[in-house]
Chain A
Amino acid sequence: MADRLTERSNPPSRDPLQEPAWLRALLIGAAVLSMALLVVLPLAMVLASAFGDGFRAWWDALAEHDARAALKLTLITAAIVIPINAVFGVFAAWALTRFEFRGKRVLLAFIDLPFAVSPVVAGLCLVLLFGTNGWFHAFLQEHDIKILFARPGIVLATLFVTFPFVVRELVPLMQQQGADEELAARSLGAGAWTMFRRVTLPNIKWGLLYGVLLCGARAMGEFGAVSVVSGHIRGLTNTLPLHIEILYNEFDGTAAFAVASLLAGLALVTLVLKFWLEARHGDALANSHRRH
C-alpha cells in the first residue's frame, strides 16, 4: 500500500508522512525563535548585566554583608527543608504504594495541592496561623516563640511549596516497581530495616535524588510565599530572592543581577543534573521522566 502511494506521489522522493521541507524549516525556526526570545534571552540578560561592570563589581556585590547573610539563610533553609521532605516523602510513598486503605485517592489529591495553590496564598495561611489574632498567637506569645517575620516562618513557607516534589517522584516509580522484591526479602527473613536498606533504597535512590534536586532548586528560589512571611529584615530574614528584590527596588541593577546570576547558575546546575539523571539513569526514574 505504502509502496503504491510513493509511486503515485510526485515527486517520488516526497514522504507522505513528512511535512514539506520548507514547512519543517519554518516550524523549527519558529520554535527556536520563541524559545530564544522567551527563555534564552533572559538568561543572557542576567549574565550580561551581572558582569556588565566587570568581574570586580560582581564579586563586591556578592561579598557584601547583607548578600552573604541572605546566601547563608537560603542555604540553611534548604538544608532543613530537603531532608524533612525526603524522609517524610519516603514514608508517605511507602504507605501510598504498598498498602490499600480508604481515602488513598483523597490523600494523593492533597499531596498535589501545594503545586496549584498560589505561593502568596500559602504565605497568607501561615500569617493566619501564627500572626496577631492567629490560632497559635497566644501560645507563641506565652512561650516567647517567634515564627512569623523570623526564620521558622521562612522554613514553614518553603516546606509548603516544596512539599510535593519528592512524593510525586517516588509514588509512580514505586508503583511501577511493585512490591515483589520487598516481599521476597521478607519471605527470606529480612527485618524491616534490612529490607529497606538493601532492597527499597537501592531501587528508589535515583528517583529520590531526582525529587531532592527539584525540591532543592525550588527551596532556594522560592519568592512569593517567603516574601509574605519574612518581614524583609535585611541581614536577618532575607533570602537570596528577597535580597534581589530589595536591590532591584533600590535601583542597584548591577548588584541585583549579580545575586541573580548566582541563582541562575544554580538553576543551570539543576538542569544539567536533571538531564544527566534522565539520560543516564532513566530506567530508575518514574516513566514520565525517561528519555531515550
Chain B
Amino acid sequence: MSAVALRTPRVRKRNPLPGFGLSLGLGMAWLGVVVVLPLAALAVRAAGLGAQGWLRALRDERVQEALKLSFGASLTAAAIASVVGALVAWVLVRYRFPGRRLLDALVDLPFALPTAVAGIALTAIYAPNGWVGKLLAAYDIKVAYAVPGIVLALVFIGLPFTVRTLQPVLETLGREPEEAAASLGASRFTTFRRVIVPELLPAWLTGFSLAFARALGEYGSVIFIAGNLPYKTEIAPLLITIRLEEYDYNGAVAIAALLLVASFACLLVINLIPLLFEKKGKRNG
C-alpha cells in the first residue's frame, strides 16, 4: 500500500499541470518557518553544548530518573495499549453486537479530547477519593499520584493509535487462510496464533511505535495525574519546563534533544516496518 501511495502519474517531458514552482516554494517555506527552523535552533544549541555540557546535564540524577520513568512508563503503556487495542479492534471488526458503532466512534475520543481535560478527569476518577480510586484504595492500590497513574494516562493517549492501525488490516484480512487452516484441522487458537497474528504483526508494531512516540512526549494528561515528585513521578517533558523556569537553558536543551532523537528513531522504525516485512514476504513466497 505504501509503495502505491508514493507513486505519482508518470510525467512526460513537460508536465502540463500548473504551479509546480509556486506550490513547492510555498510548501517548503511554510515547512521551513513553522517546523524546520525551530527544530534547527534546538539542534544547533544541542550541538553547542559540547561533551562537557552533555556530561553535566546527563550526570544529574534527577534527569536520569526522569528519563528512566518516561521511557519505562511509555514502553509499558504502549504494550498495554497494543494488547487492549488488539482486543478492541478484533471485537469491532469480527463481531456484531448492539452499540458496536458507538464503541467504534468512542475509540477516537482520546484523540479529540484536549489533554488537559483528559488529565483532570482521569485524576478525579482515580484519585484516592474518586469513583474508581475509592474502590482501589480499599485494597491499598494507588493509581493517581503514582507511576500506575502515569501509565494509565499514557494508555488512554495511545489507544486510538493501536486500534486504528490494526482495524483496517483486520478488515482486509481474507477468510480463506483461516478456512484452510481450519480444514487442515487447526484449532481456533492455533489458527489465531499461526495464521492471524503473523498477518497483523506489521500493523501491531506500527501501532506500538506510534503509541510509544506519542507517550514519550505527552505532557498535558500526565502532569495532573503524576504527582510530579522529583526522582519519583517526574516525567522528562515536565523536567524540561522546570529547567526552563530555572533559566537553565542547557539543561532543558539536553533533555529535549534526547527526546527529539527518540522521536526521530520512532519515525524511522515506523517508516521501515513496511519495507522490512515486504522483503521478508517476498523471500518466503
A97→B8 contact, CB < 8 A: yes
| Minimum CB distance partner of B4 in chain A | A175
User: Does A57 sit at the interface, judged by CB under 8 A?
Assistant: no
The residues in B between 197 and 226 inclusive whose CB is less than 8 angstroms from any CB of A are: 213-214, 216-220, 224
Residue from A39, A108, A115 within 8 A of B159 (CB atoms): A39
Main secondary structure of the interface of A (DSSP, over half): helix
User: Does B53 sit at the interface, judged by CB under 8 A?
Assistant: no
User: Does B285 sit at the interface, judged by CB under 8 A?
Assistant: no
| A16-B188, A107-B31, A116-B213 as given contacts; A98 in contact with B5, CB under 8 Å | no
B183→A1 contact, CB < 8 A: yes
Q: CA separation between A85 and B41, bound complex, in Å?
A: 22
A114 CB contacts on chain B under 8 angstroms:
35
User: Does A207 sit at the interface, judged by CB under 8 A?
Assistant: no
User: Does A62 sit at the interface, judged by CB under 8 A?
Assistant: no
Most interface-central of B45, B114, B219 (chain A CB within 10 A)? B114
A88→B263 contact, CB < 8 A: no
A187 CB contacts on chain B under 8 angstroms:
16
B75 CB contacts on chain A under 8 angstroms:
none
| A46-B117, A175-B5, A227-B219 as given contacts; A124 in contact with B244, CB under 8 Å | yes
A212 CB contacts on chain B under 8 angstroms:
none
B41 CB contacts on chain A under 8 angstroms:
125, 128-129, 134-135
Mark A175-194 against chain B: 1 for CB-CB distance below 8 A, else 0: 10011101100110000100
B179 CB contacts on chain A under 8 angstroms:
2, 17
A223→B45 contact, CB < 8 A: no
Q: CA separation between A122 and B179, bound complex, in Å?
A: 50
Residue from A120, A178, A256 within 8 A of B120 (CB atoms): A256
The residues in B between 82 and 109 inclusive whose CB is less than 8 angstroms from any CB of A are: 84, 87-88, 90-92, 95, 97, 99, 103, 105-109
User: Does B155 sit at the interface, judged by CB under 8 A?
Assistant: yes
Main secondary structure of the interface of B (DSSP, over half): helix
A34 CB contacts on chain B under 8 angstroms:
84, 87-88
A39→B9 contact, CB < 8 A: no
A121→B19 contact, CB < 8 A: no
For residue A164, give the distance in angstroms from its CB to the closest CB of chain B: 9
A37→B95 contact, CB < 8 A: no
A257 CB contacts on chain B under 8 angstroms:
120-121, 124
| A121-B256, A186-B16 as given contacts; A109 in contact with B108, CB under 8 Å | no
A175 CB contacts on chain B under 8 angstroms:
4-8
User: Does A63 sit at the interface, judged by CB under 8 A?
Assistant: no
A31 CB contacts on chain B under 8 angstroms:
87-88, 90-92, 103
User: Does B267 sit at the interface, judged by CB under 8 A?
Assistant: yes
A104 CB contacts on chain B under 8 angstroms:
6
For residue A88, give the distance in angstroms from its CB to the closest CB of chain B: 4
A13 CB contacts on chain B under 8 angstroms:
none
B103→A17 contact, CB < 8 A: no
User: Does A67 sit at the interface, judged by CB under 8 A?
Assistant: no
B114→A118 contact, CB < 8 A: no
Q: CA separation between A214 and B35, bound complex, in Å?
A: 19
Q: CA separation between A207 and B103, bound complex, in Å?
A: 24
20 contacts between A and B (CB under 8 A): A5-B182, A31-B92, A42-B125, A88-B26, A88-B27, A104-B6, A115-B214, A118-B218, A118-B260, A120-B240, A127-B244, A129-B41, A163-B34, A175-B8, A179-B8, A180-B9, A192-B18, A221-B117, A224-B217, A248-B224
User: Which residues of B are interface residues toward A (Cβ below 8 A)?
Assistant: 1, 4-9, 11, 15-20, 22-24, 26-28, 30-31, 34-39, 41-42, 45, 84, 87-88, 90-92, 95, 97, 99, 103, 105-110, 112-118, 120-122, 124-125, 130-132, 152, 155-156, 159, 168, 175, 178-179, 182-183, 188, 213-214, 216-220, 224, 237-238, 240-241, 244, 249, 252-253, 256, 259-260, 263-264, 266-267, 271
